Amino acid sequence: MDICIIGSGLSGLSAAYALLKKSDKFNITILEKKDVIGGCLSSSRAGRGYIEDFYHHCFSGDTELFELSKELGIYDSLEWLSGSTGYYVNGKIYPLTTPVEILKYPHLSFIDKFRLGRFVLGAKKYDAAEYEDVGAVEFAIEKCGKSAYKSFFEPLLRGKFGDAKDKVSAAWLISRVAIRSDRKAGGERLGYFRDGYNSLIESLAAKLKERGCAINTGTPVTALKFNGETKKWSVNGVEYDAVISTIDPRKLTEIGGPKIIDGDIHFQGAACMSIGLKREVTDGIYWVNMRDDAPYAAVIGHTNFVPRERYGEDIVYLASYFCKKPDGNLEERMLEDFLKRFNLGRDEINWYHLTIEESAGPIYTKGYRRLIPSAGREDLKGFYCAGMFSEENYPERSMEGSIKAGYTAAERLINDYRE
Ligand SMILES: Cc1cc2nc3c(=O)[nH]c(=O)nc-3n(C[C@H](O)[C@H](O)[C@H](O)COP(=O)(O)OP(=O)(O)OC[C@H]3O[C@@H](n4cnc5c(N)ncnc54)[C@H](O)[C@@H]3O)c2cc1C
């Protein structure tokens, strides 16, 4: 049976893996538009190793990710590291990891800190799905008060969703806070593979190739249609018995594919600059959120999380999200601002590169859940989908969610074609 998978991100690779694990009757071709595999989890060479183009870490509940890494033989290289946090306000970095640091933070009143602490510690008790139709902004104000919202949540929501922040569902906020409340004195407990997430993508791809799967990079799917006569799906002119699409549903219709979402779903884009530096700039902190106005929402000190010695230099990310396409000179604006703000000379930068992804994740607006497409449909024989828009990635997309979404699509296909 010939199967085409559109996209070589975690959803696509996981779907192929699940299919080939079950049977050798599947002849799978993965088509990837970019020159590299991995999608949002792609990596580039940095110093002595690889670094993700977009910062990544995993969480203690990511059971499918752990299982998969065991099957690929890389689980032993999973390390649990501490991720400290801080806030950049009025030109100064304030550490906000330990209770003492939080108490000393001058930009929140004692009562605001108390309300925030109570909300963060209690976030796991809320059932996110029940708050699907409540706005994140209203919810944060109700639980923490207006001033805590203004000085703490608003900059985070603005940085992540821009103008769309008022439409975001409280379900997203709750799950986001709950997942990030696994804290110890030194910071949040976050997982990272010793050789980076590149090792996950590469070992998964190697396993697929070993089992006969073709992965064709630099091959965008531009034409997809169902041939009523042969009852097959034509992808760039080649016919397949089934297709699994892992791409943004809006882009799927642009290439001729079916409309799988009945409503208005928005994706946000991400622009992330990684920079190799001669010195450390975030006072030893991993994740610094910007409250001051800057062309990036956070400065992520990667080598304050993963030991610097692995790369032989300091590495930071400048992270930003966008809803409308960023203007052409974003790279220069980000770099200029960063150099000025952190008193760095150009000669202190070893290298930098900007990665832009227009479909970096759905915006979880109120009512989003009702729009989620199912992995397969009776009326679309041979067509399946999995990705950041899937049920498994609600209400926040993740590596774990994309692996599960890939598995679900594969399972559905296997069930439909069971002999
Ligand atoms: C900035 C950022 C930070 C993140 N941090 C974390 C984190 O710390 N922890 C965590 O668990 N998750 C994190 N994630 C989420 C995680 O990366 C994603 O959930 C996951 O990688 C998505 O995989 P996917 O296969 O569903 O989608 P994608 O990775 O988007 O894969 C889709 C693939 O399809 C390809 N494609 C698109 N159109 C076509 C076409 N026409 N023809 C062929 N190919 C096409 C794309 O190039 C891409 O490779 C982060 C994501 C981003 C953007």
Q: For helices 63-71 and 399-416, give the axis angle rounded to 10 degrees.
A: 70
User: How far away, in angstroms, is 388 Cα from ligand 1 center?
Assistant: 7
pLDDT of residue 369 exceeding 70: yes
Long-range contacts of 251-256 (CB under 8 A, 24+ apart): 251/359, 252/6, 252/224, 252/385, 255/221, 255/222, 255/223, 255/224, 256/223, 256/224, 256/225
Residue 144 domain boundaries: 110-184
Closest ligand 1 atom to Cα of 220: 42
Residue 130 in domain: yes
Distance 10 CA to ligand 1 centre (A): 7
Q: How far is the CA of 105 from the centre of ligand 1 (A)?
A: 35
Q: Quick check: CB of 272 below 6 Å from ligand 1?
A: yes
The answer, yes or no, to whether any atom of ligand 1 lies below 6 A from the CB of 41, is yes
**Beta partners for residue 239, in sequence order:** 234
Is residue 147 in some structural domain? yes
Average pLDDT over residues 229-233: 97
Per-residue pLDDT, averaged over 176-181, amounts to 80
The pLDDT of residue 197 is above 90 = yes
d(CA 41, CA 53): 7
In a domain, 353, yes or no: no
How close is the Cα of 40 to the center of ligand 1, in Å?
Answer: 3
Mean pLDDT calculated for residue range 341-359: 97
Test site for ligand 1: of 200, 397, 404, most ligand atoms within 8 A of the Cβ: 397
- Distance from Cα 266 to the centre of ligand 1, integer Å: 15
Task: Give a yes or no: residue 319 inside a domain.
Answer: no
Average pLDDT over residues 36-43: 98
**Window from 25-34, 64-73, 159-168 with minimum mean pLDDT:** 159-168
Distance 56 CA to ligand 1 centre (A): 11
Can you give the pLDDT at residue 187? Answer: 79
47 or 17, which is more confident:
17
201 with 256, same domain?
A: yes
Q: Which residue has the tokens 């915006």?
A: 363
What's the whole-number average pLDDT of the chain?
94
For residue 217, the CA-to-ligand 1 centroid distance in Å is 15
Q: Do 369 and 403 share a structural domain?
A: yes
Binding site membership of 33 for ligand 1 (Cβ less than 6 Å): yes
Question: Which segment of 108-112, 228-232, 326-330 scores lowest on mean pLDDT?
Answer: 326-330
397 lines ligand 1 (CB under 6 A): yes
pLDDT: is 99 or 381 the higher one? 381
Q: In angstroms, what is the span from residue 76 Cα to ligand 1's centroid?
A: 24
Q: Is 320 in the pocket of ligand 1 (CB under 6 A)?
A: no
The span from the CA of 9 to the CA of 25, in Å, is 23
| Residue 32: closest CA among 274, 225, 214 | 214
User: What is the rounded CA–CA span in Å between residue 262 and residue 125?
Assistant: 32
Query: What is the spatial distance between Cα 261 and Cα 277, in angstroms, rounded to a whole number?
Result: 44
CATH number, domain of 399, equals 3.50.50.60
Distance CA 61, CA 90 (A): 36
At which of 184, 211, 246 does a domain end?
184
Asked if residue 118 and residue 174 are part of one domain, the reply reads: yes
Is the CB–ligand 1 distance for residue 387 below 6 Å? yes
Q: What percent of the chain has pLDDT over 90?
A: 86
Atom number, ligand 1, closest to the C-alpha of residue 13 = 25
Picking from 184, 208, 224, the residue at the C-terminal end of a domain is 184
Decide if 252 contacts 37 (C-beta within 8 A).
no
370 and 253 within one domain: yes
Q: What is the mean pLDDT of residues 224-237?
A: 97
For residue 99, what pLDDT band results from cuts at 50, 70 and 90?
Answer: confident
Summarize pLDDT for 124-158 with one digit per residue, the tens.
889 888 999 999 999 999 999 999 999 889 988 98
Neighbouring C-beta atoms of residue 419, cutoff 10 Å: 3
Phi–psi pair at 96, nearest 5 degrees = -135, 40
How many beta carbons lie within 10 A of that of residue 109, not counting itself?
13
Between CA 247 and CA 250 the distance in angstroms is: 8
The residue written with tokens 């580039």 in the block is 44
Ligand 1: distance of its center to the CA of 150 in Å? 31
Q: How many domains, the chain?
A: 2
Beta strands in 10-52 (DSSP E): 27-31, 43-46, 49-52
User: pLDDT by residue (tens digit) across 382-403?
Assistant: 999 999 999 999 999 999 999 9
In ligand 1, the atom with minimum distance to the C-alpha of 401 is 19
Mean pLDDT across 366-385: 95
Ligand 1 near 13 CB (within 6 A): no
Q: Are residues 29 and 178 in the same domain?
A: no
Instruction: Tell me if 121 is assigned to some domain.
Output: yes
Give the per-residue pLDDT at 180.
73
Q: What confidence score (pLDDT) does residue 232 get? A: 98
Q: Are residues 118 and 175 in the same domain?
A: yes
Question: Is 268 near ligand 1, meaning CB less than 6 Å away?
Answer: no
Domain annotation covers residue 208? yes
Domain boundary among 184, 210, 231: 184
β-partners of residue 192 are 79
Distance 387 CA to ligand 1 centre (A): 8
Q: Quick one: pLDDT at residue 182?
A: 67
Q: Looking at the domain assignment, is residue 12 inside a domain?
A: yes
- CB-based contacts of 167, cutoff 8 Å, min separation 6: 135, 161, 363, 365, 366
- Residue whose C-alpha is closest to residue 127's, from 175, 72, 190: 175
238-294 pLDDT, tens digit each: 999 999 999 999 999 999 999 999 888 889 999 999 999 999 999 999 999 999 999
Residue 379 in domain:
yes
Pocket test for ligand 1, best of 235, 247, 408 (most atoms within 8 A of CB): 247
Atom of ligand 1 nearest to the CA of 321: 1
Q: How far apart are CA 213 and CA 298, in angstroms?
A: 39
| Residue 238: other Cβ atoms inside 10 A | 12
